[in-house]
Structures are given as structure tokens and as C-alpha cells.
Amino acid sequence: MSLPALFDVPAPAKLNLFLHVVGRRDDGYHLIDSLMLPIDWCDTLHFERRSDGRLARHDLGDPLPADDLCLRAARALQQAAGMPLGADISIEKRLPSGAGLGGGSSDAASTLLALNRLWGLDWPLERLLPIGLALGADVPFFLDPRPAWVTGIGEKREPVAGMPALALLLANPGLALATAEVFRAFDALAPKAIPSAGAPRALARELADDRSLAARLHNDLEEPAVRLCPPIARLRAQLRATGARAVGMSGSGATLYGVYADRAGAERAATALTQPGGGWARVATTWESR
């Protein structure tokens, strides 16, 4: 069977519907409990196989970062497989960096998945997972992007069945936050670690009830994120005023999201939201679990 020489793949954003920090390992990595959901806002990655073994990015616009996650992912897979083939990689970038939406991690995961196919490796997911985890704690989730209860440092995933699609308005004050910096601010607050309670069995039912939903959308990183980026608090108040069923923060911020009864409600809220220069808002929907 002949292999495809080129193709495009999506790299979706994710949302932390809630996030609890439940401990810290001896190596400094924090342990979390979180419900992570993929959303229908994606980068698009284009891959074309090369026979000379070279890996290259060909994006237009801003200079590539020196520590580019896509190239790191491609090199890691190439080395692990002893692969003589290479690839040309380009990205139509839509997801903002430093927003708590996992855009870089999703791009890295999509790179591993695409090259696994483009190079004819056909490795199972279990073989790609350790490569992904070495690139970042969120990468394993994006190797199988579906609603999941995520624990450990991000490497343990338990798919959650029956999750409904949620209509969202994502909003960001136009400021990027570094995850490491937010965790340092979290540690400076000297919080008491909360033991993991395990995945609740009635998540879908809880999320259908506004009171339960509002109680669920707690993110332990929001307080330190607000200390580093005070506009988050003002933006939260604005989202609440638009009639959201509940408001939460994704990842380490600074992106907040409101959950609405339907997409039309989210779109009405987007027109009512006022943002300072550089701020942005985006209507999105979570993917239902299948």
C-alpha cells in the first residue's frame, strides 16, 4: 500500500473545565486533577514527506521560536524510530500562545500523529505517549483528544463518556502567561494540597445543572494568575454580566470562558463584551464524547 506524500491535520485547543492541584512530586512537577475537553478551534498543520531526512518549518510571518515544539516532536520521533525520512512542516496558526489553551502542545501531538502516518510507522498510541510526555505534560491528552479526566502531571487519562457539547465564549485580555511562572506564584501562596477524589461518575448530569456547573468550574491556578495579571478579574466580572451559566479559567490562564445555554447566547455575549486593545474573544463549542 502506498503512503500519502502530504496531508493536512487539525490541532485542536483544549479547555480545563476545572483544575485542582493535588500535590507536588520530588522533581518539582505538580500533580493535578482536571477535566479536559477539546474544542472546535484548531490550528491546521501541513506535512510533506522528504526523502533526504531533513526536517524543516516553512511558516510565513513571525520568526519561529528557537525551541519550536513541532520540530522537537519531529526530531524525537525520527530519532526514536531511526527514521531516514524527513518532512516539511508548516502551520496555519490560529491558537494564541500562553493562553492556557494548549496550542503548542496540540501542535506537537498532531506532529507525532501525522509523521507516524506519513512515515509509515503505524506505532500504537502507547508507543507515542512517552515521546509526547517528554515534550510537555499536555501533549498526551492531544494524542487522543476527547473528553478526559486527567491526573498525574498530565500523563494519566481516563476518557469521560456522555459529555454534552458546551457553548462557550472564550475571552482573553490580550496578555500571555507562562505556565511555570503561574505555578511559582501558586507555590508562593503556600496552598494546602488537596488529595485526589477520583473522577466523579455523574459529570454529564452535574454539568446540566447550573448550580453544580458553577461549583465545578474552580481552577486552583486562577488566584495566582490574577495576581500576575489583574485584568483577568475584570474580565471575569464582564463575562458574568453577559448571562453566562458559569465562568471559569482554562489552564494557567489568561483565557477565561463563559458557558452558555446555546451558541446563540454565546454569540450575543461576544457582541456585548468590551475588551481593551489587544484583548480578544472567540465563540467555540466543546466536542461531545462519542
pLDDT (tens digit per residue) in 140-183: 999 999 999 999 998 889 888 888 899 999 999 999 999 999 99
d(CA 145, CA 168): 18
- Smallest CA-to-CA distance from 196 within 253, 149, 251 is with 149
Least confident span in 36-40, 148-152, 202-206: 202-206
d(CA 138, CA 145): 10
Spot the catalytic one: 33, 68, 138, 220.
138
pLDDT grade, residue 215 (50/70/90)? confident
The more confidently predicted of residues 3 and 137 is 137
The more confidently predicted of residues 255 and 98 is 255
Residue 268's Cβ-count burial label (10 Å; 0-12, 13-18, 19+) is middle
Task: Specify the pLDDT at position 49.
Answer: 95
Spot the catalytic one: 14, 33, 43, 220.
14
Phi/psi of residue 151, nearest 5 degrees: -135, -170
Exposure class string for 116-133: b at 16+ Cβ within 10 A, else e: bbbbebebeeeebbebbb
Task: Specify the pLDDT at position 62.
Answer: 52
Task: Specify the pLDDT at position 290.
Answer: 46
Segment 69-96 mean pLDDT: 95
Which domains are present in the chain? 6-159 (3.30.230.10), 167-285 (3.30.70.890)
Residues 6+ apart with CB under 8 A from 48: 5, 6, 87, 88
230: pLDDT strictly greater than 70: yes
Alpha-carbon 257 to chain mean position: 13
Can you give the pTM of this predicted structure?
A: 0.91
130: pLDDT strictly greater than 50: yes
- Known catalytic residue at 156: no
Segment 91-119 mean pLDDT: 94
Task: Specify the pLDDT at position 132.
Answer: 96
- List the Cα angle 104/246/19 in 5-degree steps: 45
Q: Which three cell numbers stand for residue 261?
A: 445555554
Strands 30-50 and 148-151: antiparallel
Radius of gyration (Cα) for the chain, nearest Å?
A: 19
Q: What percent of the chain has pLDDT over 90?
A: 71
Task: Indicate the average pLDDT of the chain.
Answer: 89
- Known catalytic residue at 138: yes
The more confidently predicted of residues 200 and 69 is 69
d(CA 4, CA 189): 52
d(CA 154, CA 187): 18
Residues 6+ apart with CB under 8 A from 246: 210, 213, 214, 216, 217, 258, 259
